[in-house]
Amino acid sequence: MKKVIVYLLFICFFLSLGNSVAYACWELLSVDDLEDQSDLIVIGEYKGHMKEILDDGGFGYRSWTIVVDYVVKGESLQTLDVITGGSSNAKIMVSTDYKLTDYASEYMLLYLVKDQMGRYVPLTPRGIVSLDL
């Protein structure tokens, strides 16, 4: 009887491993932290131009074109491509994928960092602030 119980517990344990899901979470940064850690802070307008790109590993990302109205910190730009993780065509989806439009409307304040490839990405989704103008 003891062997049967151990065997059933063993099976239940391994079945539960197959259904486990891991979720990522973002660091909760204050406004001061966002300002300090950002390479570029802009106020801009999303004009509806977005393209989805797949990399060789099956991951995808979105490139959003932003028309810059005002630069708070960093280099002066007229337009800017902001990168967020995820694509509807990606083979691999991760819990950190999101759309820029999930966090902002047409006008937005963006706290951005430059990645290793020279692209601008939001520090966290908290680095995307919707402005109702």
Domains along the chain? Answer: 27-131 (2.40.50.120)
- Mention every residue, 6+ apart, whose C-beta is less than 8 A from residue 71: 40, 41, 42, 77
- State how far the Cα of 93 lies from the Cα of 114, in Å rounded to an integer: 23
132 closest CA partner among 31, 43, 34, 63: 43
User: Residue 100 in contact with residue 111, Cβ under 8 Å?
Assistant: no
Q: How does pLDDT run across 57-104, given as a tens digit for each residue?
A: 666 777 888 899 999 998 888 888 887 776 666 555 555 666 666 666
Q: What is the pTM of this model?
A: 0.69
Q: How does pLDDT run across 55-69, given as a tens digit for each residue?
A: 666 667 778 888 999
